[in-house]
């Protein structure tokens, strides 16, 4: 096990958990979206607008294929597990945690977000439908499903950190 991938829908807490987890496990943390933004020198909405969503999806797969070979925590974009190739890379190169949150919690967090093109172009109903379409892929990709409803960031982080230590043979 080299990489720890956090997967799940937009607004499920991947970045918040990833940062805390990095501190607790002393593993470096990377946010896939930020890495793509850095590489392209453009924001996510600009990439969508200039090159289209399909190009963005290719950039996600390129990231997974080429990112440095080290022990680290990676918060993935919400659409990453929709591609079979991405699912296979993640499962082959690391351990995958799906952060499960109810749609109403997610909606509360993402409704007014201007940096997520999918939110910008969709209604609440569209986003809920997409959430339901994606969920089986998240479940299928993950080694662990982590329930986040009514749990503090601290509790969620402790649970994942425990599993990482166990898998690395530290417990
Ligand atoms: C997307 C999620 C975003 C980002 C892009 C597309 C998606 O990442 O990759 O806006 O398709 O769900 P977060 O899950 O970090 O918001």
pLDDT, one tens digit per residue, over 20-71 is 999 999 999 999 999 999 999 999 999 999 999 999 999 999 999 999 999 9
pLDDT for 145:
98
What's the pTM value of the predicted model, to 2 decimals? 0.97
Q: Relative to the CA of 12, which ligand 1 atom is closest?
A: 14
Under the phi-then-psi rule, with left for phi > 0, alpha for psi from -120 to 50, and beta for the rest, what region is 11? left
SS3 75: strand
The set of protein residues with a Cβ atom below 6 angstroms from ligand 1 is 10, 14, 33, 44, 77-79, 116-118
Residue located nearest, by CA, to atom 1 of ligand 1: 78
Instruction: Report which of residues 2 and 106 the model is more confident about.
Output: 106
Q: Report long-range pairs for 57-63 (Cβ below 8 Å, ≥24 apart).
A: 57/83, 60/32, 60/36, 60/86, 61/85, 61/86, 61/89, 63/32, 63/35, 63/36
pLDDT category of residue 1 using cuts at 50, 70 and 90: low
Q: Relative to the CA of 8, which ligand 1 atom is closest?
A: 14
Residue located nearest, by CA, to atom 15 of ligand 1: 77
Best residue among 7, 38, 79, 112 to mutate for probing ligand 1, ranked by most atoms within 8 Å of CB: 79
């Amino acid at each position: 096990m080299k990489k720890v991938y956090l997967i799940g829908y937009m607004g499920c807490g991947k970045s918040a958990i990833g940062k805390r987890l990095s501190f607790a496990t002393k593993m470096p943390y990377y946010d896939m979206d930020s890495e793509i933004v850095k590489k392209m020198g453009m924001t996510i909405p600009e990439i969508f607008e200039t090159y289209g969503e399909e190009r963005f999806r290719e950039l996600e797969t390129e990231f997974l294929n080429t990112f440095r070979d080290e022990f680290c925590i990676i918060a993935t974009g919400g659409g990453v597990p929709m591609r079979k190739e991405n699912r296979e890379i993640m499962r082959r190169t690391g351990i995958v945690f799906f952060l499960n949150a109810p749609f109403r919690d997610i909606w509360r967090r993402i409704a007014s977000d201007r940096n997520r093109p999918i939110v910008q172009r969709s209604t609440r109903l569209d986003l809920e439908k997409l959430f339901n379409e994606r969920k089986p892929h998240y479940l299928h990709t993950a080694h662990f499903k982590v329930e986040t409803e009514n749990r503090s960031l601290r509790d969620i982080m402790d649970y994942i950190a425990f599993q990482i230590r166990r898998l690395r043979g530290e417990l």
